[in-house]
Amino acid sequence: MIRCIAIDDEPLALKQIAGYIEKTPFLELAGLCESAVQAVELLENTLIDLMFIDINMPDLSGIQFVKTLENPPKIVFVTAYGEYALEGFRVDAMDYLLKPIDYADFLKSANKVKSWFDTQNQKPAEVKSNKDFLFIKSDYKILRINFDDIKYIEAMSEYIRIHMVNSKPVMTQLSMKSIEEQLPQERFMRIHRSFIINLSKISVIERNRIVFDGSTYIPVSEQYKSKFQNYLDSNFLT
């Protein structure tokens, strides 16, 4: 499934795009936004593959917004003004839909995007690592992740989220088992079905929970409690 959001300041246009997304079997609607600013939080917390976005919006145009994104999802611009087409393609838009949009045009654009994703997905997701760092695929880029920069790793359905020390979390389509096999066991430990922690980043443990940044509590589950306790005992000063 291709996870999509739609951004448009016109409620009727937004509703139409949402309906088209829900009608298309290989698209999944992950959110609706009435402005580019509203979309920022959604993009930071959710892995989005495709964005249908209006160009002519108040405060921040669709093109201006895309230019602010460090790792934007794939883009399909939607607008009533044909003269924006060239500028839209200059920011690597996948396609351009001119209002009023009928479903046939929408589906043609969606199929174009699907073909691109199908080509990308033929390349298997891989993790390459050595003793100090690993390379992962995220947002169709290969990123180097230093082990020292990882605080903890969180499972999120078909994805994992790697929480970093001084930067935004990185999301990638990998299983916890795949990433765990590439991490040095002396530095990382799985303490829960959904969490792997960097042992060197532990500073506070409270009631069988590891506390990060004073507000993030990660539980130690019964399945991993004995192993974690052995680690604590071996490093506890008496």
* CATH number for the domain that contains residue 58: 3.40.50.2300
Confidence band, pLDDT 50/70/90 cuts, at residue 237: low
CA–CA separation, 175 and 41 (whole Å)? 25
Q: Is residue 112 pLDDT above 80, yes or no?
A: yes
- Evaluate the omega torsion of the peptide bond into residue 100 and state whether it is cis, within 30 degrees of 0: yes
Helices and strands of the chain, counted as H and E runs: 7, 16
What percentage of the chain reaches a pLDDT higher than 90? 45
31 and 96 fall within a common domain: yes
Cα separations in angstroms, 169 against 59, 95, 147, 153: 28, 29, 14, 9
Residue 128 has a pLDDT of 60
6 and 55 fall within a common domain: yes
pTM over 0.85: no
pLDDT in tens, 175-209: 888 899 889 999 999 999 999 999 999 999 998 89
In the numeric block, the tokens 């298309």 are attached to 24
In the numeric block, the tokens 């891989």 are attached to 126
99 and 144 fall within a common domain: no
pLDDT in tens, 13-67: 999 999 999 999 999 999 999 988 888 888 877 788 899 999 888 777 888 888 8
CA–CA separation, 188 and 26 (whole Å)? 37
Q: Which of 102, 121, 140 is the last residue of a domain?
A: 121
**Structural domain containing residue 110:** 2-121
Token representation of residue 205: 């443990």
Type and span of the H or E element at 104: helix 103-121
Q: Which of 121, 155, 182 is the last residue of a domain?
A: 121
Residue type, position 89, single letter: F
CA–CA separation, 147 and 233 (whole Å)? 24
Per-residue three-class SS string for 14-45: HHHHHHHHHHCCCEEEEEEECCHHHHHHHHHH
Higher pLDDT, 74 or 80: 74
Q: Which of 121, 156, 180 is the last residue of a domain?
A: 121
8 and 109 fall within a common domain: yes
Helix axes 11-23, 103-121, angle to 10 degrees: 50
